[in-house]
Chains A and B, each alone.
Chain A
Amino acid sequence: MEMTQTKKEQYEALLLEEETVRSPLSEFWRKFKKQKLAFVSFIIILFIFVLAFIGPYITPYDITEPDYENVLSGPSAKHWAGTDAYGRDIFSRIIAGTQISLFVGLTSVFLGAVGGTVLGLAAGYYGGWVDRIIMRICDVLLAFPGILLAIGIIAILGPGLGNVIIAVAIFSIPVFARIVRSSTLEVKSTLYVEATRSIGARPSRIIWKHIFPGTLSSIIVYFTMRIGSAILTAASLSFIGLGAQPPSPEWGAMLSGGRDYLSMAPHVTLFPGLAIFITVLVFNLLGDGLRDALDPKIKE
Chain B
Amino acid sequence: MVEHVLEVNDLQTHFYSDAGVVRAVDGVSFSIKKGETLGIVGESGSGKSVTSLSIMRLLRDTPGKIAGGEIVYNGRNLVEAKESEMRKIRGNEIAMIFQEPMTSLNPVFKIGRQIEEAILLHTKCTKQQARERAIEMLTAVGISRPDKVVDSFPHQLSGGMRQRVMIAMAMSCDPQLLIADEPTTALDVTIQAQILELMKKLTVDFETSILLITHDLGVVAEMCDRVVVMYAGRAVEESDVYTIFENPKHPYTQGLLASTLTLGEKVERLQSIPGNVPIPSKMPEGCKFAPRCPHAMERCWAEEPTYDAYSENHHVRCFLYEEEAK
Contacts and interface: CB of A to CB of B under 8 A. Distances in A.
- Asked whether A and B interact, the reply is yes
B16 to A, nearest CB: 13
A3 B298 contact: yes
What band does the interface of chain B fall in when counting residues whose beta carbon is under 8 Å from A? 10 to 19
A22 interface: no
B188 interface: no
B interface, by DSSP: helix, strand, loop or mixed? helix
B305 to A, nearest CB: 15
A14 B285 CA distance: 11
Contact of B285 (A1, A7, A12, A15): A7
B45 interface: no
Nearest to A11: B284
A190 interface: no
Nearest to A4: B298
B86 to A, nearest CB: 27
B69 interface: no
A1 B298 contact: yes
B291 A7 contact: no
Contacts of B302: 3-4, 7
Interface in B275-326: 282, 284-286, 290-291, 296-299, 301-302
A102 B286 CA distance: 60
B301 A4 contact: yes
A100 to B, nearest CB: 43
Contacts of A36: none
Interface of A: 1, 3-4, 7-8, 10-12, 14-15
Interface of B: 282, 284-286, 290-291, 296-299, 301-302
Given A7-B298, A11-B285, 19 more contacts: A3-B298, A4-B297, A4-B298, A4-B299, A4-B301, A4-B302, A7-B285, A7-B286, A7-B301, A8-B290, A8-B296, A8-B301, A10-B285, A11-B290, A11-B291, A11-B301, A12-B291, A14-B282, A15-B291
19 contacts: A3-B298, A3-B302, A4-B298, A4-B299, A4-B301, A4-B302, A7-B285, A7-B286, A7-B298, A8-B290, A8-B301, A10-B285, A11-B284, A11-B285, A11-B290, A11-B291, A14-B282, A15-B282, A15-B291
